[in-house]
Structure 1
Amino acid sequence: MTFKAVLFDLDGTLLDTAGDMGAAANHVIASLGLPVLSDAILQCTTSDGSYALLKAGIHAELIEQHGLEQLRSQMLAFYGANLCHHTRPYDGVPALLNWLNLNHIPWGIVTNKPSALTLPLLAQLPLFSRCGVTVSSDTLAYKKPHPAPLLFAAEQLLVAPQHCVYIGDHKRDIAAGLAAGMTTVAATWGYISAGEDPNNWQAAYQIGTVFALADWLKDAFITQC
């Protein structure tokens, strides 16, 4: 397979956002007098999003009493005001993106994070200044695991889907990539949900660190030259 572009999931793949996402969830949870979520729970729940984080810390009766959407609105308001206090790129990400830039390899982000949170977050991190395309959960009518966001990203980069690699840490990432006809990589350094086994996702590859991903991509692109 000839690769011409690289697409990434964001949370749990390029960025460790669990600290800030967790702080927002715990802000709401603590306001109800409940014990906050542990770091271990945050690490295995963040990739499932705001609803999952809230449900991990608030029992069903309180959710029904206060309303899940209201609780989520409170969480996202706090998160939106505190997007990048603890968030950091995973080790190796800056060097990987720099290598892609230096070699003129187009790359982009396809995330299920809403654009109102995605774009301000990326704006605070200069390493994303040369991102070729950013597709958020509300960019289109569909979000992952539907393939439409990935197909749209490939179109924006002017690269056919079959020449794209998509890298993500959740089964919906791999499902979307497979449906889009892309080569898929399971990022097993990310937020693997409790009870999930990446061996069952049918990704073409599983890679355990960003450094190993960089080596694999370099080999793949250099072999084509």
Structure 2
Amino acid sequence: MHPSLEGITLICFDLDGTLVDSVPDLAAAVDLALADLALPVAGEARVRDWVGNGSRVLVERALTSALGQPPEAERLEAAHARFLHHYGQAPNARTRLYPGVREALEGLAARGLTLTLVTNKPAAFIAPILGGLGIEGCFARCLGGDSLAEKKPHPAPLLAMSDHFEVPPSRCLMVGDSRHDIAAGKAAGFRTLAVPYGYNHGEPVAASGPDGLVESLAELV
């Protein structure tokens, strides 16, 4: 057993940048939304550094970059609505599982661990992505960025999972790719585990001080 799993009975996984590389689809939707507003497109490379705080913040960062200043609220709402429309048309066209993810999820579930998903992505997109990738049956419960009043790095979604399954935080593990995941896990009293290949605004996730780090989730099984 990997040391990070010792004494753990519930695992909360982040989605984008941890289980899946979703940037190609996110970037396509961002660029279509910008084009709808007659603004220059951002491109995949820049979007990769903007992901992690939910769709509204992603669109706000894209608008700020395109305009050279923070957008007015009305413009942000219009752009966000266009982004949600475009992303909803194809949330899974080029999104792929990272290597080792399927094996890890199946192996951990076979051990009897409770696997859950806590993402800042709007909840409406979770089922289409998981279903398209064939991993929807791996998770006992999923929470999106709009499922509760707060989202990561706030600990509320993690504590909601702990409470729902009646598992104390000391027996829970948060697995993610960004400082927001690690901060949420620490604030909730969870053990934390990071992967270095995801999205963390261009910073090494190790700098956030996770309890453990694995190059691939396959190392857990």
Give the root-mean-square deviation of aligned CA atoms: 2.2
Corresponding residue number in structure 2 for 1:17 = 22
The question of 1:134 aligning with 2:142 is answered yes
Query: Do 2:59 and 2:76's aligned partners in 1 also have CA atoms closer than 8 Å?
Result: no
Corresponding residue number in structure 2 for 1:47 = 52
Over the matched positions of the two proteins, sequence identity in percent amounts to 35
Supply the distance in 2 between the matched residues of 1:121 and 1:197 (Cα, whole angstroms).
26
Q: CA 1:141 to 1:55, structure 2 compared with 1: closer, same or farther past 3 Å?
A: closer
Supply the distance in 1 between the matched residues of 2:138 and 2:180 (Cα, whole angstroms).
26
Query: Do 2:59 and 2:80's aligned partners in 1 also have CA atoms closer than 8 Å?
Result: no
Supply the distance in 1 between the matched residues of 2:70 and 2:82 (Cα, whole angstroms).
15
Supply the distance in 1 between the matched residues of 2:69 and 2:136 (Cα, whole angstroms).
41
- Picking from 118, 124, 127, the partner of 1:119 is 127
Q: Deviations over 1:157-196 (max 9, x none)?
A: 33221111111112111111001111111221101203x3
Divergent runs of 4+, >4 A: none
Secondary structure of 1:58's aligned partner: helix
1:66 deviates by 6.0
- Normalising by structure 2, we get a TM-score of 0.86
Supply the distance in 1 between the matched residues of 2:159 and 2:78 (Cα, whole angstroms).
33
Amino acid paired to 2:117? I
User: Structure 1: which 5+ residue stretches go unaligned?
Assistant: 219-225
Supply the distance in 1 between the matched residues of 2:18 and 2:204 (Cα, whole angstroms).
16
- Normalising by structure 1, we get a TM-score of 0.85
Q: Deviations over 1:186-209 (max 9, x none)?
A: 221101203x342431211233x3
Q: CA 1:12 to 1:132, structure 2 compared with 1: closer, same or farther past 3 Å?
A: same
The question of 1:184 aligning with 2:206 is answered no
Supply the distance in 2 between the matched residues of 1:40 and 1:85 (Cα, whole angstroms).
18
| 1:172-211 alignment runs, 5 A limit | 172-194=180-202, 196-207=203-214, 209-210=215-216
